[in-house]
Amino acid sequence: MSTSFTHEFNTPSFKGKVNFPTGLFINGKFVDGSNNTTIDVVNPTTGQVITKIAEGTPNDVDSAVEAAQKAFDTVWGLKASGSTRSRLLTKLWQQMEVHQKELAALEVLDNGKTFSWALNGDTAAAIETIRYYAGWADKILGQVQETTEAKLTYSRHEPIGVVGQIIPWNFPLLMFAWKIGPALATGNTIVIKPSEFTPLTAIRMASIIQEIFPPGVVNVVPGYGNTVGNAISTHMKIEKVAFTGSTLVGRKIMEAAAKSNLKNVTLELGGKSPNIIFNDADLDQAVNWAAHGVFWNHGQTCCAGTRVFVQSGIYDEFLKRFTEKSKSIRLGDPFDQEVDQGPQISQIQYDRIMNYIKSGKEQGATVHLGGDRHGKEGYFINPTIFTNTRPDMKIVQEEIFGPVGVLIKFEDEEDVIRQANDTVYGLAAAVFSQDITRALNTAHRLKAGTAWVNCANVLDSNVPFGGFKQSGIGRELGEYALQNYTAVKAVHVNLGIKM
């Protein structure tokens, strides 16, 4: 194994040395890719290369699938009891807890999110997710169906087999946990592709998994979407694929799954979430939550509440306070404990966001705040607020995936529900009102898979998450996610029927 990563962290947030191999993780071993090529991993805070990782290929996906199938047939799948799966998942979250600060520091280094969020948000939630599914592993239940006294009929929830998983760059460790948790709890084996932009925590997790799980149960194959991602989506021996990312890529994966072996598909895709703030909202709380809704994770969040609808009676005061709150967001080194917002993930994403800002200007919207670069190095964009928009503008309709929000004035409930639902997406929504009846009525009428009332962007491992419309298919988290990873079998036992 020729590639490895060594780094000495010496920051106020974390001090320590990390060292681990950065190859593909197949059949319990770290190996070079079949083409012996590598991918540069870039620190978005500086724009500089920090290490190289092995690049996977379709041939490597074949090897990973073969290893996963062997593990499924011999040591996992129906061979490993629920209590065994629970015990190993428990060991995994316990080791993640031991290495929590290290994992958080790696997230900061190759993703750019602030250390406080990486530690107390992402890694803590990832640990909790694995802990949650460790509890489910011995509780995968079927049913007995009453038919006649001459027949016993029951259903079983069996693991599907080898599953492919493709995760994004915005929450690398958390999405890794969201994917492997329910898949392992139900007895499947895994071939998972982390984003080429943020592969370090997935690879580090592989070295932790290596010490706990049998070889081949989890295989990590970093690489590009058009090679490794496509190979997973089209593979004839992968029976299920789960993807988190853009709606555009989700369509391609669904098409590839249909054209190959009609594999089961779970898609958690994009969003353009509305945040509705009524006249009677607690204004200070609405402002704080709205800022969190737009700027959390530097705006690189599928459920970001970037369409902020404010009722006319409080619009001016809300805009004033929201502007002050947005101006107070501190940008800089994400390891600095005083910093609130780090860089965007890459030059590609930085340019994409700036093009949306340019589009907003060209289409006549007002840049009320920001809209420009922060600093001279890295991929930093100042918090940006648009006003005076029209419903047909790109910045109102399309997912920007950056620290850019639009403020829209509305008059009444019917007006805002119509505008809020005027989107191809349906991932999430938020409502702020001290009238709980109105808040719930509004939440129920919004076409979104998640509706927050008097809060935004809060998730729990035991609560389902997923979208309506073009925001996806299926649900992550909670008991619902287990349904993505089992095949239901009906068994009929003849106790006395004569022919």
Q: Do strands 15-21 and 4-10 pair parallel, antiparallel, or not at all (unpaired)? A: antiparallel
Residue among 186, 179, 187 nearest 241 (CA): 179
pLDDT digits (tens, 9 = 90+) for 348-394: 999 999 999 999 999 999 999 999 999 989 999 999 999 999 999 99
List the CATH code of the domain at 274-460: 3.40.309.10
Per-position DSSP letters for 289-313, written without gaps between them: HHHHHHHGGGG--TT---EEEEETT
Tokens 């191999």 correspond to what residue? 21
What's the maximum distance between 2 C-alpha atoms anywhere in the chain? 83
List the CATH code of the domain at 4-269+472-488: 3.40.605.10
What tokens were used for 288?
């704080």
Q: Is 105:14 a contact under the CB 8 Å cutoff?
A: yes
Q: What's 381's DSSP letter?
A: B
pLDDT tens by residue, the chain, 499 residues: 568 999 999 988 899 999 999 999 999 999 999 999 999 999 999 999 999 999 999 999 999 999 999 999 999 999 999 999 999 999 999 999 999 999 999 999 999 999 999 999 999 999 999 999 999 999 999 999 999 999 999 999 999 999 999 999 999 999 999 999 999 999 999 999 999 999 999 999 999 999 999 999 999 999 999 999 999 999 999 999 999 999 999 999 999 999 999 999 999 999 999 999 999 999 999 999 999 999 999 999 999 999 999 999 999 999 999 999 999 999 999 999 999 999 999 999 999 999 999 999 999 999 999 999 999 899 999 999 999 999 999 999 999 999 999 999 999 999 999 999 999 999 999 999 999 999 999 999 999 999 999 999 999 999 999 999 999 999 999 999 999 999 999 999 999 999 9
Residue 10: CB atoms within 10 A of its CB come to 10
What tokens were used for 477?
């988290």
What tokens were used for 274?
């509305």
What tokens were used for 267?
């898609």
Q: Cα 116 vs. chain centroid, distance in angstroms?
A: 18
Q: At 499, is the secondary structure helix, strand, or coil?
A: coil
Q: Active-site residues: which are they? A: 268
pLDDT digits (tens, 9 = 90+) for 186-198: 999 999 999 999 9
* Contact residues for 8 (Cβ-Cβ < 8 A; gap 6+): 16, 17
Domain limits, the chain: 4-269+472-488, 274-460
Q: SS3 sequence, 390-425? A: CCCCHHHHCCCCCCEEEEEEECCHHHHHHHHCCCCC
Q: At 137, is the secondary structure helix, strand, or coil?
A: coil
**Half-sphere exposure at residue 425, Cβ-oriented, CA atoms within 13 angstroms:** 27
Q: Is 456:290 a contact under the CB 8 Å cutoff?
A: yes
